[in-house]
Amino acid sequence: MLEVIDVCKSYGGEPLFENVRLAVPAGSAVAVVGANGCGKSTFLRGVLGIEAFDTGSVVLDGAEFDERDPAVRAAVAADVEELPSFPDLSVREHLELMAHAHAVPEAAAVTENVLRELQLQSAADRMPATLSSGQRRRLAFGAWLVRPRRVLVLDEPEQRLDTDGRAWLADALLTERRNGTAVLFATHDRALVDQVADDVLRIGR
């Protein structure tokens, strides 16, 4: 499904990581681990084409990964940056817009189910700017839950979640695997790695 081949990245002449390779087959999960500042987020952004690697390549379904390709955008869901929001749209409207953008049948019903799953019903008519940090984290989850996906890339999804939220996240990622999604995620949560990942990539020394 997703393959990263000998990618390297340097800043100011100093290597951040070198010759990194991995494969994430359908229905599997790879956790990216390492100390703060080691390059985990940069690596994920490079995989997604947001930031260029110095050398190496990323392959999706046997073809070079091009984030401008509509087929790639349809297949890959990600949460690696602050969720962009429109000041005049409510939480519900943001999720419905995402669902409609990906041609999800019965987008309104799908949105309501996601709001219920994320316990955001009480905040559904509020604007994202008024949400707590934990609620904004759950809204970011909603943005990928409402859309089709075969690849899911997440950067430290456990951040700002309480114990119950982390348990929900582990269950959600295991469900993604059972549904055949290839999951790549960076994390500091060892329990999440143990529960979800069947392979681990360590970035940095």
What is the rounded CA–CA span in Å between residue 148 and residue 128? 23
pLDDT, position 13: 82
pLDDT of residue 84: 73
78 and 144 in contact (C-beta within 8 Å)? yes
Residue 66: phi, psi to the nearest 5? Answer: -130, 105
d(CA 103, CA 126): 24
Contact 183, 173 (CB under 8 A): yes
Domains in the chain, please, with CATH? 2-202 (3.40.50.300)
Maximal CA-CA distance, the chain:
51
Length of the chain: 205
Listed as ranges, residues in the chain with pLDDT below 50 are none
The structure's pTM equals: 0.94
Contact 78, 156 (CB under 8 A): no
- On average, the pLDDT of the chain sits at 94
* Cβ-proximal residues to 82 (8 Å cutoff; 6+ apart), any chain: none
What tokens were used for 30? 């790879």
pLDDT in tens, 113-122: 999 999 999 9
Cβ neighbours, 10 Å, residue 130: 11
CB of 83 within 8 A of CB of 139? yes
Per-residue pLDDT at 87: 83
- pLDDT recorded at residue 205: 62
Select from 128, 134, 169 the least CA-distant residue to 152: 169
